[in-house]
């Protein structure tokens, strides 16, 4: 593949509008899904996990962030992926998101 061909392909990807949005952690509240993989990204708020997940038979990217969720995802990485989990949040405004293996 030539440099011009590669640049054309890269530009087509950049111009594409068919990329689904990355789900927020709140989008996953009360849902069961499988975490297949994660990557760590550095944001202005610190390191955050983005998960490659399977939800309702569809592939998604999702933020897996929160004060309790971040160390829980780290524990899942050590245990090994994929893992099927349920994500929940308490009733209070400041209750953290947590996950449990199902």
Beta-strand relationship, 97-101 and 83-89: antiparallel
Confidence of residue 12 (pLDDT cuts 50, 70, 90): confident
Give the ranges where 20-90 is alpha helix by DSSP (H): 69-79
Q: Are 85 and 73 in contact (CB under 8 A)?
A: no
Confidence of residue 68 (pLDDT cuts 50, 70, 90): very high
Pick the closest to residue 58 from 36, 29, 73 (CA basis).
Answer: 36
Q: How many CB atoms lie within 10 A of CB 23?
A: 19
Interval 69-92: pLDDT, tens? 999 999 999 999 999 999 999 888
| Residue 82: predicted pLDDT | 98
Q: Rounded distance, CA 4 to CA 14, Å?
A: 15
**pLDDT for 20 beyond 90:** no
- For the entire predicted model, the pTM comes to 0.82
């Amino acid at each position: 593949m030539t440099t011009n061909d590669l640049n054309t392909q890269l530009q087509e990807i950049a111009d594409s509008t068919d990329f689904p949005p990355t789900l927020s952690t709140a989008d996953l509240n009360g849902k069961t899904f499988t975490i297949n993989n994660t990557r760590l990204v550095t944001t202005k708020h610190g390191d955050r996990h983005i998960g490659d997940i399977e939800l309702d038979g569809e592939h998604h990217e999702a933020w897996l962030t929160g004060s309790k969720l971040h160390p829980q995802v780290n524990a899942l990485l050590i245990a090994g992926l994929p893992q099927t989990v349920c994500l929940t949040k308490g009733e209070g405004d400041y209750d953290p998101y947590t996950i449990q293996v199902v």
